[in-house]
């Protein structure tokens, strides 16, 4: 058989035999893969709405994050001012009301379905928003909370945690824990769910690690979406999906700069910044969500595998063609509706009632 | 705020508002994404054994498949001759024995654990191998069957189905159904599991569609790995993972040529060749497995979503950095062991006993 008729399966089988010999493994240089430039069409196996989102070009300035505390603050503020145009019509469509409040000194939003079925009477979801620990203050945090309240028909408290330059690590986690501790006085731990995406996904995992440290009971279930679970740039999809993901775009872009701004010199390896390094034993049932073009695809699947290896019941959802956290955008995108239906069904299955 | 300080979340939120207006949606040209050339290192967040597999360069001849029936036959035969060197030591390590046999005129291998716990006494797994419907005859089919028998401690019957140029579509499916029908006489439907990867994953799904057509009861659970579920080249990861996946490499490479050779002129859209186009209602609990670099990542997650939307209990495993079907290679790769532990646990949970 000539080399030109070597099949994929045979080539790999031969490689396995060769490479698993310990001597060969030590000596084999780990060659990177050279992937040529590609022009990748918008996939036609997703909804027209998602196709329109996928077709959006990389946004201006993806690689020029603010460089000063004032710059970050100004960016976050302008986002918050613009958020109402997305959040309020969505809340109306999904029949949920939004009220500002305060819990033990922490700013929150209460996002409440107009109708709450008896099954959900004692249930309470805590939302920790994304935005690389620095963005999405105020109403900008709420699209995901509105989607969850709308599809789960459960009460949601969204934590408007302190962010830099007002307060640095671990202020966001401290605020989330304040609300979690308060929630434990409102209802049974098993009736509580915690969710959030991106930095909010990381915070959800960090809360579980902190709850173990503080000997607090775990909630009934959690839903960390595409968690920023490794702030040290480990994770293959940081490279494979770079410049393909039209939200985060590149590990050298926005989000890592923001996370370092939040960490304020603290070691990024700390499980309270990179929860992939934590111990997941005893975590509650967990559902994770990501997309095939997500820069954090790898870190989501790494967390999923680590949960399974820690004996935790863990489910994984991966949406075709989606970049980072695009399942949290808008109820008019069919895939976003589907994501929140599936996450809601998981919470409904695992929370007490 | 200047364009250069536009954040990822804000840019997308603005796009959503704009793009979801029906008029805009109709008019928006769906621009492809231009991704520059990249040099992608071997990820260091997987085992050294998997790193060695990931570091393997694209195999010679990935884009020069055989062009004649005789060429395919010769390739398949040389694979089968080489397979023993992988299969037999693995069977020994995993304490399973392999015997050739025949069931109602179909060639099979019986892959049997040395020790079968009482819980598994009535359980029986049917294996349909991969290889693009054309490769992996004889012992070349067996690595996955050996892994499954070794980790599940359940009896496996691997179907050595007819392949081109001996027999064309739907011969492979016919042979698999002959064995399934025979299995229904050996034990209860709920005690039967069906599994296989790549073309074997597609065949597993096709068997479920055919069982519905023939009014046969479904098995207790199925485990289609990275199924070749859409033979029409739809699926975003055909593009995004092209030349990154070091097994299938590219949709214009080996596998689609082989599938067309099997189809022998039949319409590739037929659910019996592209099961993504079938109706999944009534399917048994299903666990799917893929990798972040898999050319069939998209088609695996599309099947997962379609199963969930059809009311089927469906779990998804995605392994960091893995190309197509690399979880089926060898028990000395920690991730492969982990995959078969997780698949075995799912089957154990859902099969009767």
Which chain B positions have a beta carbon within 8 Å of A315's beta carbon?
Answer: 315-316
Residue A276 contacts residue A230 (beta carbons within 8 Å): yes
Q: Is the peptide bond before A165 cis (omega within 30 degrees of 0)?
A: yes
Q: Which is nearest to B105 in space by CA: B156, B174, B165?
A: B174
- Report the DSSP pairing between strands B33-35 and A38-40: antiparallel
Which of B7, B233, B331 is best to mutate for the A interface (most A CBs within 10 A)? B7
Helix (H, G, I), strand (E, B) or coil at B239: helix
Is residue A316 within 8 Å of A294, Cβ to Cβ? no
| pLDDT given at position B7 | 64
Structure-derived torsion over alpha carbons of residues B45, B223, B256, A50, reported in degrees to the nearest 10: -70
Q: Which residues, in sequence order, are CB contacts of B97 under 8 Å at separation 6+? A: B91, B111, B112, B114
Least confident of A73-77, B190-194, B321-325: A73-77
Give the closest of A7, A60, A130 to B254, CB-based: A7
Q: Which residue of B has its CA nearest to A79?
A: B10
Give yes or no for residue B110 having a pLDDT over 60. Answer: yes
B141 touches chain A (CB under 8 A): no
Nearest chain B Cα distance for residue A134, angstroms: 11
CB contact under 8 A, B41 and A30: yes
Q: What would the two tokens of residue B19 be?
A: 């793009």
Contact B155, B113 (CB under 8 A): yes
Q: Please state the ipTM of this predicted complex.
A: 0.95
All structural domains of chain A, each given as residue ranges with its CATH number in brackets, are 63-350 (3.40.50.1820)
Q: Which residues in chain A touch residue B302, judged by CB atoms under 8 angstroms apart?
A: 45, 320
> A55, B20 in Cβ contact below 8 A?
no
- Give helix B171-186 / helix B199-213 axis angle, nearest 10°: 70
Q: How far apart are CA A131 and CA A200, in angstroms?
A: 8
Contact A218, A28 (CB under 8 A): no
Structure tokens at A326: 């695009």
Candidates A320, A338, A317, A336; CA nearest to A328 is A336
With tokens 């069982």, the residue in question is B211
**Contact pairs from chain A to chain B, CB under 8 Å:** 336
Which chain B residue shows the shortest CA-CA distance from A76? B7
Q: What is residue A31's DSSP assignment?
A: P
Residues 60-119 of A with CB under 8 A from B: 60-62, 64, 66, 71, 74-75, 78-79, 82-83, 85-86
A9, B247: Cβ pair inside 8 Å? yes
- The mean pLDDT value for B276-292 works out to 98
Provide the chain A residues 315-344 that lie in CB contact (below 8 A) with chain B.
Answer: 315-321, 324, 326, 329-330, 332-333, 338, 342
Instruction: Indicate yes or no: CB of B135 within 8 angstroms of CB of A7.
Output: yes
DSSP letter, residue A221: E
Whether the Cβ atoms of residue A128 and residue A179 lie closer than 8 Å to each other = no
What's the mean pLDDT when you consider all of chain B? 93
Q: Residue A338 half-sphere exposure, CB side, CA atoms within 13 Å?
A: 22
Distance CA A329, CA A34 (A): 34
- Kindly indicate the confidence band of residue B3, based on its pLDDT and cuts at 50, 70 and 90: very low
Mean pLDDT, residues B62-84:
87
DSSP B245-273: -SSS--TTSHHHHHHHHHHTTS-TTSTTT
Residue in A105, A109, A111, A122 with CA at minimum distance from that of residue A178: A105
From the CA of B337, how many Å to the nearest CA of chain A? 12
Residue B27 has pLDDT above 80, yes or no: no
Per-residue pLDDT at A2? 37
The average confidence (pLDDT) of chain A is 93
- If you search the block for the tokens 């042979």, which residue do you land on? B175
- CA trace torsion A15, B82, B135, B244 (10° rounding): 10
Residue B76 pLDDT > 70: yes
Cβ-Cβ contacts under 8 Å for A140 (sequence gap 6 or more): A76, A79, A80, A82, A83, A87, A129, A131, B9
Burial environment of residue B107 by CB neighbours within 10 A (0 to 12, 13 to 18, 19 or more)? middle
Nearest residue of chain A to residue B36 (CA atoms):
A37
Query: Distance (Å) from the C-alpha of residue A32 to the closest C-alpha of chain B?
Result: 4
CA distance B106 to chain A (A): 24
Interface of A with B in 240-279 (CB under 8 A): 240-244, 246-249, 253-255
List pLDDT tens digits, range B118-174.
Answer: 999 999 999 999 999 999 999 999 999 999 999 999 999 999 999 999 999 999 999
A-chain residue closest to B276, CA distance: A45
pLDDT digits (tens, 9 = 90+) for B41-53: 999 999 999 999 9
pTM of the model: 0.95
Q: For residue range A96-136, list pLDDT tens digits in order.
A: 999 999 999 999 999 999 999 999 999 999 999 999 999 99
Cβ contacts of residue B281 below 8 Å, gap of 6+? B310, B311, B312
Other Cβ atoms less than 10 A from the Cβ of A21: the count is: 12
Across the interface, do A53 and B19 touch by the CB < 8 Å criterion?
Answer: yes
Compute the C-alpha angle B260/B263/B267, nearest 5°. Answer: 95
């Amino acid at each position: 058989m000539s080399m030109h008729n070597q099949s994929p399966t045979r080539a790999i089988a031969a490689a396995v035999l060769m490479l698993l010999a310990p001597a060969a493994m030590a000596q084999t240089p780990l060659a990177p893969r050279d992937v040529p430039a590609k022009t990748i069409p918008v996939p036609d196996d997703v909804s027209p709405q998602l196709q329109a989102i996928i077709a959006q070009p990389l946004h201006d300035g993806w690689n020029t994050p603010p460089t000063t505390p004032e710059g970050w603050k100004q960016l976050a503020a302008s986002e918050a001012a613009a958020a109402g145009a997305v959040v309020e019509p969505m809340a109306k469509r999904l029949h949920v009301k939004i009220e500002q409040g305060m819990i033990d000194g922490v700013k929150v939003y209460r996002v409440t379905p107009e109708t709450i079925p008896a099954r959900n009477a004692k249930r309470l979801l805590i939302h920790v928003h994304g935005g690389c620990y620095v963005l999405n203050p105020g109403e900008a945090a709420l699209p995901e909370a509105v989607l969850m309240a709308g599809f789960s028909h459960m009460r949601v408290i969204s934590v408007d945690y302190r962010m830099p330059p007002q307060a640095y690590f671990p202020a966001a986690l401290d605020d989330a824990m304040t609300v979690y501790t308060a929630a434990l006085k409102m209802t049974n731990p098993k009736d509580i769910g915690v969710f959030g995406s991106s930095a909010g996904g990381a915070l959800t995992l960090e809360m579980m690690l902190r709850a173990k440290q503080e000997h607090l009971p775990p909630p009934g279930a959690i839903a960390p979406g595409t968690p920023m679970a490794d702030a040290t740039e480990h994770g293959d999809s940081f490279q494979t999906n770079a410049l393909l993901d039209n939200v985060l775009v590149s590990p050298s872009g926005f989000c890592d700069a923001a996370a370092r701004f939040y960490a304020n010199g603290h070691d990024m390896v700390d499980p309270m910044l990179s929860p992939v390094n934590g111990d997941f034993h005893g975590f509650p049932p967990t559902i994770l969500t990501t997309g095939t073009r997500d820069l954090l695809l790898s870190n989501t699947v790494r967390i999923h595998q680590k949960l399974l290896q820690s004996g935790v019941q863990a489910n994984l959802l991966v949406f075709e063609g989606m970049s980072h956290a695009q399942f949290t955008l808008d109820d008019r995108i069919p895939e976003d509706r589907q994501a929140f239906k599936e996450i809601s069904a998981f919470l409904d299955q695992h929370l007490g009632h």
